[in-house]
Structure 1
Amino acid sequence: MSLIELKNLDYDNIEDLLFVCSHKMLEDPVHQEGMQLKRKWLKEMLSKMGSVAKIAYYKGKPVGQILYFPEEIEKTKLTKRKGVLWINCVYNPFKEAQRLGIGRKLVENLIEDCRKGRACGLKTVKFVLAKAFNTGEALSLPDFYRRLGFLQPPTSENSNALYKSVSGEYEPCPPKEGYVPLPEDRNKAVVFYSPICQFSYPFAVEIKELIREVAPELPIEIINEWEHPEEAIKRKNHWLVVNAKPIYTFFKAEEQFKNEVKQALES
C-alpha cells in the first residue's frame, strides 16, 4: 500500500482539508470564524458541482491540499470564460511530507481529471490558471508551477497567474478597468475578504486593526465579496480602498502599508 493517498473532497473530509492549512491555528477564535466561512463555502460548492479540492494523506494523516474551481462560478468577475479552471492554492506545510512529490501528484491528478471531463462537472477544460503567489515556505509557487509546465500568459491576466493548456489554447480575459473614485468611499475604509480561503477573514480583521492605528476614528467596512459581489465589482476587485483610493502595499509590510493609508487619508 502506498504511503501517499489522494482523495477528492466530500462532506466527510472537509475537516481534513481545513486541518492542512489551519493546524496551527485551530484554537484562534478569529481564525475559527474564517474556517467556518470556508466550511460553508465548501458545502455550497459540493452541493452545486461536486469536489473543488483534493486532499493528500501521508501515512494516513492529511498533509497537503489543492483547491480549484471553474471561472464561471466566480461571482466577482463580470466577464467569465467557459472551460477555464482556476487553481486557488496548493499547500503542503508538513516537513515530514515535503520533497515526496505530493504537490506534483495533486496537480497532475487534477489535470488528468480535466482531460477526462471529471473536474467540477466541466466536460471540457480549455486551460488551467494557477494563482502563483509566493508563501515564503519551501519552493515558491511560481517555480513549482513552471516545473510542471505552466506558462506566463501572453497577456496580463493578473500579476501572479500562470496557465497550462489542457484541450485548448489560452484565451485572454478582457482588460480590467481601473477604479473610479466613488463618493460613498470617501472618509472611510472598505476591506474585502473571501470565504474561499480561511485566512482571508482574519487578514481583513488584521487590516482593520492596522488602519485603526493610523486613524482610530475612521469608519471601516468589512465586506464578504462572495455574498456581496456587486460591492467588489464596482471597486474593480481591489481588496482595500481608503478614502476612495485603492491601497496596493501588502499589509504584512506594516510600516509601508500604514504610510500608504496615511497618504490616502491626507490627499
Structure 2
Amino acid sequence: MAARLLKGVMIAGLLSLLAACATGARPDARPIPVVTDPAPIVSGTMRPYQIRGRWYQPEEQPDYDETGMASWYGDQFHGRPTATGERFDMNALTAAHKTLPLPGLVEVTNLANGRRIVVRVNDRGPFVDGRIIDLSRGAADALDLRRAGVGEVRVRYLGRAPRLGGGQVLQYAEASPAPPVPAATPPPQPGPMTQPQSRPAESSPPAPARAGVWVQAGTWADARQARRAADHLGGSATVEEAAPGQFRVLVGPWPDAGAAERSRRAVISRGYPEATTISGV
C-alpha cells in the first residue's frame, strides 16, 4: 500500500514538473489557440498541382516543424480570393504555404528577434526556391520583417484552423532590438521657373553626400515603372531621378555595409537581380 502511494506521489510530482516546464518556458507568451470547431479542409486544395514545371503534393503533416526563409505579400493581392476561396486581407494574420492543409494554423517565429505569432494558412505559395512561407503584410509587420523583405523563421504546424480567424500575436519579445532606420526621401527637384543659372564648374560646390549605405534596386526610363517597383518593395524604397530620363529606386539608408548587403539580397529575392549597394548618393 505504501509503495503504491509513494509511486502515485512521484507520478504526480513528475506531471507537475512537466507542466511547469511547459508553461514556464515562455512566461511572457500567450497560449497556443485551441480549436474546438475546425473548418473542413477546402475541397480540391489537397490535390497534387504543378507550378512552373514542379509538382507539389499537399498532405497532412502533424509533425511539420521547419526553419527557412519567409517573404510577404500585400497590396497587389489585397481583396483577391485565396486558394480556400477566402478574400485575402493583407492586414490580417494569414499566410500561404505550398503543401499544408487549408485552412490550417501555424506558429511562426522570427529567429532574428524572437517574435512569435500564429497565422491562418489559407493560400498556396511561395513558389520561390528557399522560401517556406509567404506572410501577409500584417503578419510580416507583427514579426518585424516587412522592411527587410525576407527573414529566417521557424514554422510549426498546429493543426486545423477555426472557421474564422485564428491568427494572434503570441510574443513580442526581441532578442536584440535594432535602432530605427529613417526612411529615405528623394531630394527636392527645382521647378521649371526656379532652375538655377549655370555657373562655372569651379564655383559650384559639390552636393554633400547622404550618410549611410543604400541599395539601388535598378534604374528605369519610365518614372511610372520605377514608382511601381518602389511600391512593390515597400518600406523605405523611394524613387529619384539619377539622370535626365533615368529613374532609380533606392532602399535605405542602412547604417553599415552588412545591413545593406542583407537588404540587397532581400531585394534580389523579390525580383530585382541587378540590385547593388552604393554609398554617398
TM-score, normalised via structure 1 length? 0.26
Higher helix share: 1
Query: Relative to total residues, which structure has the larger strand share, 1 or 2?
Result: 2
Larger Rg: 2
What TM-score does the superposition give when structure 2 sets the normalisation length?
Answer: 0.25
